[in-house]
Structure 1
Amino acid sequence: MASVLTESQSKELQKAIIGYLSTINADKTAATMRDELGFNVGFTHTYGKLAHILEKKWTTNTLLQRKVMTLEAQVDRLGKALESFPQSQSRNQEPFKWLPVQPAYTLKSHRAAITSVAFHPAFSSLASSSEDCTIKIWNWELGELEKTFKGHTATITGLDFGGNINHILLASCSNDLLIKLWDPSKDYANIRTLSGHGHTVSCVRFLTPNQNTLVSASRDTSIRFWDVLTGSCVKTIFTDCGWIRDLAPSYDGRWLISGSSDHNATIWNVASGNSQSILRGHGSPLECCAFAPPTSHSYLIALVGAKEPQVRSSAGFVATGGRDKTIKLWDLQGGLIKTLVGHDNWVRGLVFHPGGRFLLSVGDDRSIKCWNLAEGARLWKTLDNIHDGFISCIRWAPCAVSPIERHHSPKETLETRPVSEEEMRTSGFPCVLATGSTDSKVHVFA
């Protein structure tokens, strides 16, 4: 049989074997092999160092074989997990019509109520925070816990991923009055702690998914803007709204909406820091708010009854939810479009379907409700008793690139046109969302 080694490689191997035999006191065997191969007597002392090379190569080869076996087993496990992953809901259904049915995974590890969830914009990572003062990172595709870390000394109230796409950060806020920045590329090391608020920090949100500006809201009635690269507070809006319980930026980052304990929501101009309008109509403190995506504008315009689109910005409509058990739809000027009634308890979270046709809400009645904006914002579907406790938060996995970035060149202004359904259909979006509850569990729907 032909050797796979060259002549020089064969001689080097033979010498290494003879040298190794000499190091283990097998001198007779070494001498016999040396004589048969025609090596001189002085070889053992001259090339004995090759014996150590042989040992190193043998050890390295053994380690590599073990690594290969481990990787093969991992590939096999992941392949089986992929085959069993219940994605048929999203794969076999039109994305624009996709709505949650049953959880693909239930994530259990927290010891207290879940307060917030956030998806990494590029990877299959989901962060969750809890009253147990910990943050957990999950692989939502596999339903596996990847990491648990702690830095806050009180209940963590909010989470958000964002920053430059090449350096994504995770921001968290807490009842300990602090905001912390965690770096996923450094195994979620705490790289900065931002202080300045005088009371509980209720919410943190990156102004846009790819900018380095973080916005926070607090019980101290202020809204602060932070540069995450330096940790500096670059702007503060002092309000008379009372406890600001939630805030959300518009898709272009030019506007903010905040919901407060004074029963009102406020639209803020980010550039000037001035209020654009005050949304009055709820009968109790607000718990959540959200901007409608550009894909929802055509449905909301029809709901208003306008014949021609009046919305030029990507921030034309908003939704608010509160302790009065209602959801309200508004235009940017503060006009009430419609009140949605259906929850039996506080409304805790809102998220618009990326396709634009639906608004999803969760609350203390343990239900997820889906409202069809294309049919007068009527209640379309209800998932009852999804959790064993109050549902405290809901989040939709973001697109890798936002609709605003995808469809506008750097020279275009952000006040051009809404993203059409056809454009979203072409570019696609993930049909994945997560909910968190006081039952200490996170559900992933996919």
Structure 2
Amino acid sequence: MPLRLDIKKKLSARSDRVKCVDFHPTEPWTLAALYSGNIFIWDYNTQTLVKQLEVCNLPVRCAKFVTRKQWIATVSDDMHIRMFNYNTLEKVHEFEAHTDYIRYIAIHPSLPYLLSSSDDMSIKLWDWDKNWQNTQIFEGHAHYVMMTQWNPKDSNIFCSCSLDRSIKVWGVSGGSSQAHFTLTGHQRGVNCVEYAPGGEKPYIVSGSDDRTVKIWDYQTKQCIQTLSGHTNNVSYALFHPTLPIILTGSEDGTVRIWHGATYRLEATLSYFLERVWSIAVLKGSNTAAIGRGAFDERLV
């Protein structure tokens, strides 16, 4: 049975190219990392820009809230990771983390860990309680590592994806830097991965330059579904944490909404703008933010 989707735009804000978006879990804030080297925080209730910060003069590819520390973590094309207090906008810490562009950072949900993935083909684990010591390096991908994500069901496990067309699953306990296993099936590079947020489904969703989205069962290590329809590279894909939908964004300028059980296409959002680079969802709500080539939008 089709889903009844009532989709309304709540905020549309013009800015430079948006590379990453994130939600604060309790404040009405959407964080946008910009290609210009800035980060913006929008209040989506008042539709106003409440904070902005120049990080550096190179693109900021990813920015995430670290709410238990009142930080914003950023990575930029100068290969640095930086922490800012989001109340005062003061820089808390800064260090060079990789030898090539950093694509993504993943904040551990409870431990003082940050994962960074880079074009130097490595993934690094940083412990901020140990003065930002690099405690592990994970190598095995044969091309740029585009994204990492923590497994919400097992806090010692994370997955990664790469332009080498593979998805790998790793562990941070036991000291091993070897991948537990590899998932292959995409015909071109993989840009994004995300775990299913809960329930009984041991699933990972991935999006690729082959223009498809794949759903994987990480217990059987099989691809169980391929979603086709995008007409350009798939840049972002995720399961909604509460609604039975999968959201995918593409360089074709659209966001597609798929049924989480039947995998049928339910809706296509297109505002005749530019490429979609990032999607975030606010837990406990039906709200999503979309980062595009020239816009940061918030939708309900």
Q: TM-score range by the shorter chain?
A: over 0.9
2:38 to 134, 155, 161: 134
Which position in structure 2 is the counterpart of 1:26? none
Q: Within 5 Å, which residues of 2 pair with 1:19-418?
A: 99=5, 101-108=7-14, 110=15, 112-162=16-66, 164=68, 167-185=69-87, 187-208=88-109, 210-229=110-129, 230-251=131-152, 252-271=154-173, 272-295=176-199, 297=200, 300=201, 316-333=202-219, 334-355=221-242, 357-375=244-262, 377-383=263-269, 385-398=270-283
3-state DSSP of counterpart to 1:104:
strand
Specify which structure has the higher proportion of strand. Answer: 2
Superposed CA RMSD: 1.7
Q: Among all aligned residue pairs of Structure 1 and Structure 2, give the percentage whose two residues are the same amino acid.
A: 22
TM-score between the two structures when normalised by the length of structure 2: 0.92
1:435 to 283, 290, 299: 290
Alpha-carbon contact 1:368-1:386 (below 8 Å) kept: no
Report deviation, 1:373.
Answer: 2.2
Q: What amino acid does structure 2 have at the position aligned with 1:189? A: E
3-state DSSP of counterpart to 1:127:
strand
3-state DSSP of counterpart to 1:294:
coil
Paired with 1:98 and 1:219, the residues of 2 have a C-alpha distance of: 41
Alpha-carbon contact 2:246-2:259 (below 8 Å) kept: yes
Paired with 1:387 and 1:275, the residues of 2 have a C-alpha distance of: 41
The number of residue pairs the alignment matches comes to 293
Paired with 1:249 and 1:293, the residues of 2 have a C-alpha distance of: 10
Specify which structure has the higher proportion of helix. Answer: 1
Report deviation, 1:120.
Answer: 1.2
Report deviation, 1:217.
Answer: 0.3
TM-score between the two structures when normalised by the length of structure 1: 0.63
Report deviation, 1:163.
Answer: 5.3
Paired with 1:159 and 1:136, the residues of 2 have a C-alpha distance of: 10
Query: CA, structure 1 residues 235+163, in 2 after alignment: closer, same or farther (shift >3 Å)?
Result: farther
3-state DSSP of counterpart to 1:389:
coil
Paired with 2:99 and 2:59, the residues of 1 have a C-alpha distance of: 16
Q: What amino acid does structure 1 have at the position aligned with 2:209? A: R
Alpha-carbon contact 2:10-2:44 (below 8 Å) kept: no
3-state DSSP of counterpart to 2:180:
strand
Query: CA, structure 1 residues 183+99, in 2 after alignment: closer, same or farther (shift >3 Å)?
Result: farther
User: Which entry has the higher C-alpha Rg, 1 or 2?
Assistant: 1
3-state DSSP of counterpart to 2:261:
helix
Alpha-carbon contact 1:264-1:279 (below 8 Å) kept: yes
Structure 2: gaps (5+ residues): none
Report deviation, 1:98.
Answer: 7.6
Q: What amino acid does structure 1 have at the position aligned with 2:266? A: W
Report deviation, 1:99.
Answer: 4.9
Paired with 2:4 and 2:19, the residues of 1 have a C-alpha distance of: 26
Report deviation, 1:343.
Answer: 0.8
Paired with 1:129 and 1:241, the residues of 2 have a C-alpha distance of: 27
Report deviation, 1:147.
Answer: 1.5
Report deviation, 1:319.
Answer: 0.7
3-state DSSP of counterpart to 1:275:
coil
